[in-house]
A and B are shown apart, each in its own frame.
Chain A
Amino acid sequence: MSKYVPKVSELKKEFDEKPSVLKGNYSAQEWWDIPVEFRDGNWCFPGKPEVLEDLGFANPRKWAATDQDWQLPAGWQKTISDGLQSRLKKYRSLKLFLDACVRCGACADKCHFFLGTGDPKNMPVVRAELLRSVYRNDFPLVEKILKGFSGSRKLTEEVIKEWHAYFHQCTECRRCSVFCPFGIDTAEITMMVRELLNLIGVNNNWILAPVSNCNRTGNHLGIEPHTFVQNITSLVDDIEDLTGVTVEPTFNRKGAEVLFITPSGDVFGDPGVYTMMGYLLLFHHIGLDYTISTYASEGGNFGMFTSNDMMKKLNAKMYHEAKRLGVKWILGGECGHMWRVVHQYMNTMNGPADFLEVPVSPMTGTRFNNAAATKMVHIAEFTADLIYHKKLKLDPKRNDHLRTTFHDSCNVARGMGMFEEPRYVLRNVCNSFHEMPEDTIREKTFCCGSGSGLNAEENMELRMRGGFPRANAVRYVKEHNKVDSLVTICAIDRASLPPLMKYWNPGVTVYGLHELVGNALVMQGEKKRTEDLRENPMAGFDDGGDDDEE
């Protein structure tokens, strides 16, 4: 036997001594007595010192969540305490959410992390209680008198570790808030706690490195302008090879009617780039007067997972660029949290964007009054409108090699209430579409398990646990309807669902909605299409040529 294999006695020792919620009977203990455990696969690497220095964030140092000593800065308790007080004054929603909960438990089994781990601290009510217990101790006087009875506790280093563990097991998906009779938004509590943790340097590199990149180069991946252009140009070449059509995107062109902004994952990542090819084909098909910015080259906004100020700054860049280029309005690609930021926060953070016009589709004349404040239209809405007005020539048979289902991205579904538009588009570009069970879609959609910056590879086990409820719903349509394609409209989904499917549902592939649009679009002057945008053969379009058969 290998010398590296631990001995049974060592394993036993580890099991006996290491705390774990999965052993021992904790039923008689208070929830806060259950120890926090960091082990490989359940935590994200902390922000690198140079990243923190770039951003001017507190307490840059080398550390790991598994360290005994987290090297918190002197006076960290006061920093957190003052930070909490000032945020309670600034955000009435936070104070309301902390005060209003009656512990009814309606949210308890709605969280995908709870359903995947069975850990009581992943019940949204208990997760919020991690902060609430400290809030009670530090604030209202009556609670001080009733200490113990009221469930309050001191702010210790153990509490910070617990916050770090459990507020990074919340993807800010807000499924719990759908079921809360008071509408308490645990996502906003998570946002606030992460903001507080950043004040003392307790953080996540998978969030902060993209924030720093975006702050410097304009996108999360840190792609510089020339590389950004080269990537899209190489996609243009691929489109030409596949379809015989040359699409001609422009960059940083002043005076274009529309500025198109999408997550940088669509320009650099697999399978996002195929969605990008779909956008480019669509814009060429309708002759849209648009430009792409190499500065506002990111739709996503990891600032949302960092702090309100950072979210504001990264969001502002898109609007500054729209102003600089003199466009009329902004068209936004398939992204998740970009839309939450735009739909829910932009107008009070950076708005109103008076220098832009209320978006009007140049092809259909439809005025998007829902975007009157933000001047930014979601591509699914835009395309659904084009299809409704019969402006697109589509051949859904070109997607007959795919049997699809649709994953509602949390932020677009719950964050902006968009359910029907992507389904309308999907039904028009493919012939096989099957819904997952009712309590796992639309406003009750399950998160991919990796949202809000938890998509780090070192966090894989936790992501698989958190994504299990979603994967289980996909399994249902896989078994009942032979579904093999999971279509989604979020860049994080496109990055995180492929491994989730490979683990739970091998054989299911992840697609962006506009990739399927790109497959189905019949372009003027195109050559005979036999392959989809991934160069996979389409069904019934082989060179033998039986594509005219019904």
Chain B
Amino acid sequence: MNAHKAKILEQWLKRALELFPEKMDNTTPVAVVFSGALEGIVSGLCNNDNDYRAALDDMTRILAVQSTLPSKALSIFLEPKLILRDMMMKTTVADALMPEEQEAFHSRLDALTLEAFDSYMQHREKIYQLKVEEGRRRMFMALRRAEP
């Protein structure tokens, strides 16, 4: 799996950035964050190490404030399935992954996508919490002065 890591990462970043209508240069803040986060996630996926939550949060924190639909935003996390399929179709028999390896990769991605949904929702809820807090802050001095 690790042999395919760099290729998956490169393709994934390209497809993730396509979510934005205008090309995002690799030096833009979004591309920099995506690139770092996807690297963390791909490492986790390839090593079967589930310690990718922080990287996942970095991605969904950006996605959760974009105007795209949640389904479209989260489809980013299913892209590696398609990337892997394309890669396997083009690769030699010797380099191809065993079906069970591919199956394992797919189930890890499914788990990741569900976790991404949790993380995405957490950020959406945070947005609404911030709206409420902002309303409360407007009353700050009134509340402060009302305190004994």
Residues of A that sit less than 8 Å from B by CB: 11, 14-15, 20-23, 26, 34, 37, 39, 41-42, 109, 114-120, 123, 230-231, 234, 267-270, 273, 457-458, 460-462, 464-465, 468-469, 472, 495, 498-499, 502-504
Query: Which of B67, B123, B140 interacts with A39 by CB under 8 Å?
Result: B67
Contact B71–A499 (Cβ < 8 Å): no
Q: Which of B90-148 contact A (CB under 8 A)?
A: 123, 126-127, 130-131, 133-135, 137-138, 140-141, 144-145
> Which range contains the number of B residues in contact with the other chain?
20 to 34
Main secondary structure of the interface of B (DSSP, over half): helix
Which B residues are in CB contact (< 8 Å) with A468? 29-30, 62, 65
Taken residue by residue from 61 to 79, chain B's Cβ proximity to chain A (1 for < 8 Å, 0 otherwise) reads as 1100111110110000000
- The docked-state distance in angstroms from the alpha carbon of A26 to that of B22 is 9
Contact A269 B137 (CB under 8 A): yes
With contacts A116-B30, A118-B22 known, is A15 near B72, CB below 8 A? yes
Taking the closest CB of chain A, its distance from the CB of B102, in whole angstroms, is: 27
Residues of chain A within 8 A (CB-CB) of B32 are 472
Interface string of B31-42 (1 = CB under 8 A from A): 011000000000
Q: Which of A23, A230, A234, A458 contacts B68 (CB 8 A)?
A: A23
**Whole-angstrom distance between the Cβ of B52 and the nearest chain A Cβ:** 17
Residues of B within 8 A of A114 (CB): 22
Chain B residues, Cβ within 8 Å of A15: 69, 71-72
Name the contact of A464 in the complex, choosing from B19, B20, B33, B127 (C-beta under 8 A).
B127
Q: 6 closest pairs, A vs B, by CB?
A: A118-B20, A22-B68, A270-B140, A472-B29, A464-B65, A499-B130
User: What CA separation (Å) do A267 and B144 show in the bound complex?
Assistant: 12
Interface centre among A457, A462, A472, A502 (most CB of B within 10 A): A457
Asked if A22 contacts B127 (CB within 8 A), the reply is: no
- The reply to whether B66 and A117 contact each other, CB–CB distance below 8 Å, is yes
Are B127 and A460 within 8 A (Cβ)? yes
Would you call B127 and A461 a contact (CB within 8 A)? yes
**Does residue B25 face the partner (Cβ distance < 8 Å to A)?**
yes
Q: Are B65 and A461 in contact (CB under 8 A)?
A: yes
Please name all residues of chain B whose beta carbon is closer than 8 Å to the beta carbon of A21 when the two chains form the complex.
Answer: 21, 67
Q: CB within 8 Å of A: which residues of B?
A: 19-22, 24-25, 28-30, 32-33, 61-62, 65-69, 71-72, 123, 126-127, 130-131, 133-135, 137-138, 140-141, 144-145
Is there contact, CB below 8 Å, between A11 and B71? Answer: yes
Asked if B72 contacts A22 (CB within 8 A), the reply is: yes
B145 and A230 form a contact (CB under 8 A): yes
Chain A residues within an 8 Å CB radius of B25: 109
**CB <8 Å contact, B141 and A499:** no
How near does chain B come to A30, taking the closest CB pair, in angstroms? 14
Cβ A234 vs Cβ B145 within 8 A: yes
Q: Which residues of B contact A11 (CB under 8 A)?
A: 69, 71
Give the residues in chain B near A41, CB-CB below 8 Å: 65, 67, 127
Residues of A within 8 A of B68 (CB): 20, 22-23
B61 proximity list for chain A (CB < 8 A): 503-504
A12 to B22 Cα, complex, angstroms: 24
Given contacts A11-B69, A22-B72, A504-B61, contact A472 B33 (CB under 8 A): yes
Decide: A460 near B69, CB < 8 A? Known: A120-B21, A503-B61: no
A231–B19 touching, CB < 8 Å = no
* B131 touching A457, Cβ below 8 Å: yes
A-B contact pairs, 26 of them (CB 8 A): A14-B69, A15-B71, A22-B19, A23-B72, A34-B21, A37-B67, A41-B67, A117-B20, A117-B66, A118-B20, A118-B21, A118-B24, A119-B20, A119-B22, A231-B141, A268-B141, A270-B137, A273-B140, A273-B141, A464-B65, A465-B66, A469-B29, A472-B32, A498-B137, A499-B134, A502-B130
